[in-house]
């Protein structure tokens, strides 16, 4: 089976600015694929390239194995859920959802029936006669989703669709989206700047920075084995230790990353031969609920952050000297590009 989407050395220039810089990637059929990155990293431009709102300055884009580089948006078997939902204000909800079927010439009776069905899929069965302006943000989001899915596209593109929702609703929509994707088996391409969203929902994540891809990996690998300092910093929180300090701690002059929850206070229960140990002074302690965040300053001003369970165990005093320890296999060496 061909890949759902393939980028073959794709660049998109806006004037002198390389919004997308020589990106190659493949998205598998039926995959939940996220594009993660800070704003201006090129992730949204990549999405718009798939939709056909932008055309590549160089390189090729294949959809289902066919070269789609020069196709208009309406010639692509791809639908988009827009960041602002882009519901048509002059139509009611049902006709919004049925719009894609209407312009493709599906008869009135059938398209309204299918639109009803799509609305009930997003739990808005009774809202067909409302105008978009009468809906809440979460409801508009669902209508946009139903509208994009009613034609059963090969690929569904989602442009930060949860950004405007409050936290509770966002979490609920995250799991609903994931369930929907599993049920329909449609390839989802999800753009977000929220790393926890990308980690919790995706099969694979592409991390973007400055128009380039830093890493493509499963959420687990992205977290455990960040390919660069940028990824280690952007995905979760991480301690990135510079080469000089790494040499004094481990004997190897290489950058490494260590996740805060892998660092423990004291060296109880750790086999010294398989561990790295460091001494430092506690600078700050914050209670976060399930865990405490402890900031420890090592020699040479480097600060390591450790997360320790908040139940049991006395906390050290701020200003006191503590010993930190972590297992060697919890560390991840980073090879920095020149």
Partner 1 sequence: MHSERTPWALRLAAYGGLAFLHFPLLVIFAYAFNTEESAFSFPLQGFTLHWFSDAWARPDIFAAIVLSLKVATAATVLALALGTLAAMALSRRPFFGKNAITLLLVLPIALPGIITGISLLTAFKVADINPGLLTIIVGHATFCVVVVYNNVVARLRRMPMSHIEASMDLGADSWQTFRHIVMPGLATSLLAGGMLAFALSFDEIIVTTFTAGAEVTLPIWLLNQLGRPRDVPITNVVAMTVMLITTLPILGAWYLTRDTTDTAGGGK
Cβ at position 158, least distance to partner 1 in Å = 12
Cβ at position 51, least distance to partner 1 in Å = 6
Annotate 90-109 with b (16+ C-beta within 10 A) or e (fewer): eebbbbbbbbbbeeeebeee
In the bound state with partner 1, the residue whose beta carbon lies nearer, of 86 and 315, is 86
Cβ at position 117, least distance to partner 1 in Å = 17
Cβ at position 53, least distance to partner 1 in Å = 5
In the bound state with partner 1, the residue whose beta carbon lies nearer, of 78 and 263, is 78
In the bound state with partner 1, the residue whose beta carbon lies nearer, of 88 and 333, is 88
Instruction: For strands 187-192 and 155-159, give the pairing.
Output: parallel
CB atoms under 10 Å from CB of 177, counted, come to 22
Q: Is 215 helix (H, G, I), strand (E, B) or coil?
A: strand
Residue with tokens 């980690």: 199
Q: Is 212 helix (H, G, I), strand (E, B) or coil?
A: strand
In the bound state with partner 1, the residue whose beta carbon lies nearer, of 119 and 246, is 119
Cβ at position 83, least distance to partner 1 in Å = 8
Residue with tokens 């031969």: 273
In the bound state with partner 1, the residue whose beta carbon lies nearer, of 47 and 232, is 47
Q: Using CA atoms, how far apart are residues 34 and 190, in angstroms rounded to an integer? A: 5
Give me 14's structure tokens. Answer: 């806006």
∠ Cα 152 157 158 (to 5°): 120
* Residue 203 CB contacts under 8 Å (≥ 6 apart), including other chains: 28, 31, 32, 33, 218
Q: Using CA atoms, how far apart are residues 40 and 43, in angstroms rounded to an integer? A: 8
- The residues that touch partner 1, with contacts defined as CB under 8 A, are 51-53, 72-74, 78-80, 82-84, 86-90, 99-100, 102-104, 147-148, 151
In the bound state with partner 1, the residue whose beta carbon lies nearer, of 14 and 287, is 14
In the bound state with partner 1, the residue whose beta carbon lies nearer, of 129 and 179, is 129
Q: Using CA atoms, how far apart are residues 153 and 243, in angstroms rounded to an integer? A: 49
In the bound state with partner 1, the residue whose beta carbon lies nearer, of 89 and 185, is 89
Q: Tell me how far apart the 2 most distant CA atoms of the chain are, in Å.
A: 76
Cβ at position 113, least distance to partner 1 in Å = 18
Contact status, residue 141 vs residue 160, Cβ threshold 8 Å: no
In the bound state with partner 1, the residue whose beta carbon lies nearer, of 90 and 220, is 90
Q: Using CA atoms, how far apart are residues 278 and 325, in angstroms rounded to an integer? A: 6
Cβ at position 90, least distance to partner 1 in Å = 4
Beta strand residue intervals within 37-112, DSSP E: 58-63, 66-67, 78-81
The backbone torsions φ and ψ at residue 289, rounded to the nearest 5 degrees and listed phi first, read: 105, -100
Cβ at position 178, least distance to partner 1 in Å = 23
Give me 112's structure tokens. Answer: 């309204």
Give me 83's structure tokens. Answer: 């960041």
Cβ at position 103, least distance to partner 1 in Å = 4
């Amino acid at each position: 089976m061909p890949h759902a989407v393939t980028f073959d050395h794709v660049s998109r220039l806006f004037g002198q600015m390389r919004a997308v810089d020589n990106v190659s990637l493949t998205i598998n059929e039926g995959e939940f694929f996220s594009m993660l990155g800070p704003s201006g990293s090129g992730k949204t431009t990549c999405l718009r390239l798939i939709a056909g709102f932008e055309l590549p300055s160089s390189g090729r884009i294949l959809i289902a194995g066919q070269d789609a580089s020069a196709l208009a948006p309406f010639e692509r078997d791809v639908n988009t859920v827009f960041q602002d939902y882009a519901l048509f204000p002059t139509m009611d909800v049902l006709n919004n959802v049925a719009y894609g079927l209407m312009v493709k010439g599906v008869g009135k009776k059938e398209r309204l029936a299918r639109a009803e069905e799509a609305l009930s899929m997003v739990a808005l069965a009774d809202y067909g006669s409302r105008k978009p302006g009468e809906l809440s943000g979460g409801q508009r989001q669902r209508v946009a989703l139903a509208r994009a899915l009613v034609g059963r596209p090969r690929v569904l593109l989602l442009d930060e669709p949860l950004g405007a929702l409050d936290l509770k609703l966002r979490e609920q929509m995250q799991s609903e989206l994931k369930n929907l994707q599993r049920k329909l088996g449609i390839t989802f391409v999800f753009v977000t700047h929220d790393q926890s969203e990308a980690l919790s929902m995706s099969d694979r994540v592409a991390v973007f920075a400055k128009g380039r891809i830093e890493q493509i990996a499963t959420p687990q690998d992205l977290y455990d084995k960040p390919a660069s300092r940028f990824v280690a910093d952007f995905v979760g929180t991480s301690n990135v230790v510079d080469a000089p300090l790494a040499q004094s701690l481990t004997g190897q002059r290489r950058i490494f990353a260590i996740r805060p929850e892998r660092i423990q206070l004291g060296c109880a229960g750790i086999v010294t031969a398989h561990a790295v140990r460091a001494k430092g002074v506690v600078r700050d302690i914050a209670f976060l609920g399930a865990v405490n965040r402890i900031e420890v300053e090592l020699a040479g001003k480097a600060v390591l952050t450790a997360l320790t369970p908040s139940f049991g165990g006395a906390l050290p005093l701020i200003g006191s000297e503590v010993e930190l320890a972590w297992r060697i296999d919890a560390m991840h060496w980073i090879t920095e590009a020149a």
